[in-house]
Chain A
Amino acid sequence: MENLKQELKAKIIENLNLEDFKVEDIEDNDPLFGDGLGLDSIDALELIVMLDKDYGIKISDPKKGKEIFESIQTMAQFIMDNKTK
């Protein structure tokens, strides 16, 4: 789980071009949207693609995105519970 959280932080910085952030800047429970990392709606779509491409998880209900992408902690837990690759 710890490795996965570090991996997610690195991927988010790389894939979402967060040049101002380093892995150590992101706490596990920091909000990904709003006041935290300040991600936007396009970033949310990018995260959905990332879950599909890297972990074989398709999110069929977009409403679930709000809780899944709340933080690194919630994302990692969702991936652990649902990954197919």
Chain B
Amino acid sequence: MNTKLYIQSYCKIKNNTIFFNGNPVFKDTKAENLKDFLKSTYKHLGLKYGKFFKMDNLSKLAFLASEIIFKETKIDTENENVAIVFSNNASSLETDRKHQMSINDKDNYFPSPAIFVYTLPNIGIGEISIRHQLKSENAFFVFNKYNAEFHYNYEKSLIQTKKADAVLSGWVNVDDDTNYETFMYLVSKNGKLEHNKKQLNKLY
């Protein structure tokens, strides 16, 4: 039997601005690059999580969007099984470039372990899972563009087959300091926005 599902809340981050459920909640016009914007967002949210500063920009972006959604939605991540499904088109390219820079010169060959560990896009899922002690289903896909139909079917399948109570899902992409965006949302049995392909495309 198909249970009706909803987009309980959603968060978009782009051009140094954060929107939650369609409303602007934070904007930093002074940040000169993505790293600075992510740091000012961290401070704005009043977070105390030292590991944040060790993350690469892609993980930080995913982490902050998830913090906003979990906090504002008041979801009980300890007792609800929340799966995570993300996608993007740049994979971990920004960090891959940094790693490549550190190994280009054979006479100055000092790859950084702290950078290397982020040369996979799904590490951000791990960071969110560690933060909220999630031991749930997760996947990270690389597509040319946000694929609402794929996401809709995957999210629905996870909940309908009882693999998850809710799904934190969406598009988390970082190419460089100016080309980045997040469209993240929580799919669950609660909410007002019906979960379907048309709705996902509209919100994106």
Residues of A within 8 A of B (CB): 15-20, 38, 42-43, 45-46, 49, 52-53
Contacts and interface: CB of A to CB of B under 8 A. Distances in A.
A46 B117 CA distance: 11
Given A18-B53, A19-B50, A38-B50, A53 B113 contact: no
Interface residues of B, number: 10
A43 B114 contact: yes
Interface in B170-194: none
Contacts of B54: 16-17, 42
A50 B120 CA distance: 23
A59 to B, nearest CB: 13
Contacts of A45: 113-114
A18 B50 contact: yes
Nearest to A43: B114
Contacts of B114: 15-17, 42-43, 45-46
B50 to A, nearest CB: 5
B77 interface: no
A17 B51 CA distance: 9
B130 to A, nearest CB: 11
B112 interface: yes
27 contacts: A15-B114, A16-B114, A17-B53, A17-B54, A17-B114, A18-B50, A18-B53, A19-B39, A19-B50, A19-B53, A20-B53, A38-B50, A42-B54, A42-B113, A42-B114, A42-B117, A43-B114, A45-B113, A45-B114, A46-B112, A46-B113, A46-B114, A49-B110, A49-B111, A49-B113, A52-B110, A53-B110
Contacts of B53: 17-20
Contacts of A52: 110
A18 B113 CA distance: 16
Given A18-B53, A43-B114, A49-B111, 18 more contacts: A15-B114, A16-B114, A17-B53, A17-B54, A17-B114, A19-B50, A19-B53, A20-B50, A38-B50, A42-B54, A42-B114, A42-B117, A46-B112, A46-B114, A49-B110, A49-B112, A49-B113, A52-B110
